[in-house]
Every structure is written in structure tokens, then in C-alpha cells.
Amino acid sequence: MLTNNLQMSNPVEVAKGIFHIGARDNESGFHYNHYMLLDESQAFVVSAGHSVNVMSVLEKFFLIAPVNRITHAVFNGSVAQIGGAVAVMEEIVLTAGGKLAVVSHPRSSHKISFYCGLRHESFYHVDTNGWKLTLDSGRTLRFINSNNLSFPGSFMTYDERTGMLFSGDLFSAYSFGWSLFANDFYLPAMESFHYDHLPFNQLINHTLDGLDGLDVRLIAPSHGSIINRDVAKYTQALRNIRKPFTAKPRTESPLINDPLDCFKAMEERSFI
Ligand SMILES: [Fe+2]
């Protein structure tokens, strides 16, 4: 039985063969989740890391399997976030005798290539591969276009076998009282994050339409908590956000999870 009372210094198996390899960070209130899908002979890394923490992601991976088993890594985000992480991961996998394909969309890969020095052959482009990837075992991963949520070339990854959706910034939230799995406070935290950080809701709704027909059973966002029940409730909540096209920034705090903890943390850090 998975609970929130977990030792986060080790990888945590959140679905069969899928591990959370991120870390708890109560200082920033901003949790960057990373996930690793361990298949028969391959490993697929989602939200593969950024310049600050790529080594901690790899250290957790080392606890699960040899690094040359990583064959694919999704780097979704701005070049400023990813920094040299993608080049570091490629170098480590190559040095270990493996070969890494960076799963990406051309809208972001040309910038990654330019700033991080990757060759064109390093990329697996989702759009020219039918928005899917079939691993050697026959397991199929599907990619859903989430362009501009939050970056040009963003996409989500859906694992047919477990029904897990790696949703990127969609379904994400900020929180000081972070928990691995969504608790009662997650819904308003998620709504606030989308209101303040993501584009207007017509784009969100259009992107959510891309999930039609998929049996999504778990949602693993890049920030915040994993949604492991009531998926339809969270999806509908995003559809219901009414953000005017010309929305002005709000002045109240968008940071929620356990409101009392959140308030205390913000007070201590002079945010209010
Ligand atoms: Fe993000």
C-alpha cells in the first residue's frame, strides 16, 4: 500500500515498474518531479532533469539499474531549465556503453541542440514518429501534444500498460506542504497554479481534448503531487478554470497544500 509517509532519499515505485526519482524540497515550495519507467531491457526517463539536479536523478537511477539501460529521456522545458543536463546525461550513458535518444519536439530540440551541443541524431522526434514510441518489449508509449503548456514543443507521455499520464506542467501545483500523492489540499493548489502560470483555458481545454479515448488512471505531473484517484474530478476542475484572456496577476498567495504550513513558511520567508 503506497502512502505519503515515504523515504524520499530512495526511488519510490509509484506504479508497477515506474519510479519517482525526484526529491522532497520543502525549502523552495517548488518540487520538480522526475520519473523512470523500467521496462524489460530498457529504461525511459520522464522529466529527465535540469541543470541543478541531473546528478541526483542519475544517482537514484543507479540504485535501480545500470545507467546504460537508459535508452530514452524526455526533456520538456526551456533551455534555461534544462541547461547542460541533457548533455551530461547523454555523456554518462554513452560512457557506460549505452545509447540515449532524447525524446523531444522540433520546436524545442533545435534550441536544445544549439545551446547544449547535441547532434540531430541524438533526438527522437515525437511528431515524425506518429506521436508514439514502441519499446523493444512491445510496450507502447503515446505522446499527446501540449504545445505552449508551458513551452513551445511541450507534450505529455502516456503509458498504455499502466494508464499513467506524465503530464508535464498540466495538473502541476506549487506547495510547501508537499506530498507524493495528491491529498485534500491538492485540488485548489492545482487550480491556483494553472490560473497563475498557464495560458488561458481555451488552450488547456483544447489540450485536454487530446486525452479523449485514453484510459488515464494516474497522472504524474512535473511539479506537485501524483494524482492516483478521482482523475475525472481533477480533469474537470482544469476545464472549469475561467481565466480571462487579459487576466491580471493576482495579489494573494497561489501557494497552497496544507494552508497553515504554507502560511507559516511564507511568513518566515517574508513573502507576506
Ligand atoms: Fe515546469
pLDDT of residue 158: 98
* Average pLDDT over all residues of the chain: 84
Beta bridge mates, 72: 44, 101
Spatial CA neighbour of 39 closest among 8, 69, 80: 69
Q: Cα angle at 232 between 228 and 235, to 5 degrees?
A: 95
C-alpha–C-alpha distance, residues 44 and 90, integer Å: 13
pLDDT of residue 41: 94
> Per mean pLDDT, which range of 62-71, 73-82, 169-178 is the poorest?
73-82
**CB-proximal residues (5 Å) to ion ligand 1:** 169, 222
3-class SS at 150? coil
CATH code for the part of the protein at 12-268: 3.60.15.10
Beta strands 43-46 and 35-38 are antiparallel
Cα 97 to middle of ligand 1, angstroms:
31
Cα 77 to middle of ligand 1, angstroms:
6
| Residue type (1 letter), 128 | T
Residue-wise pLDDT for 124-159, tens only, equals 999 999 999 999 999 999 999 999 998 889 999 999
| Sign (positive or negative) of CA dihedral 67, 180, 14, 74 | negative
Output the CA–CA distances (angstroms, integers) from residue 10 to 22, 57, 124, in the order listed: 9, 10, 29
Residue-wise pLDDT for 30-70, tens only, equals 778 999 999 999 999 998 777 777 777 888 888 998 999 99
pLDDT of residue 103: 95
Cα 68 to middle of ligand 1, angstroms:
27
**What are the backbone angles phi and psi of residue 28, rounded to the nearest 5°?**
-95, -20
Residue-wise pLDDT for 110-127, tens only, equals 888 888 888 888 899 999
Residue-wise pLDDT for 216-272, tens only, equals 999 999 999 999 999 999 999 999 987 766 555 555 544 444 444 444 444 444 332
The CA-to-CA distance between both ends of the chain, in Å, stands at 39
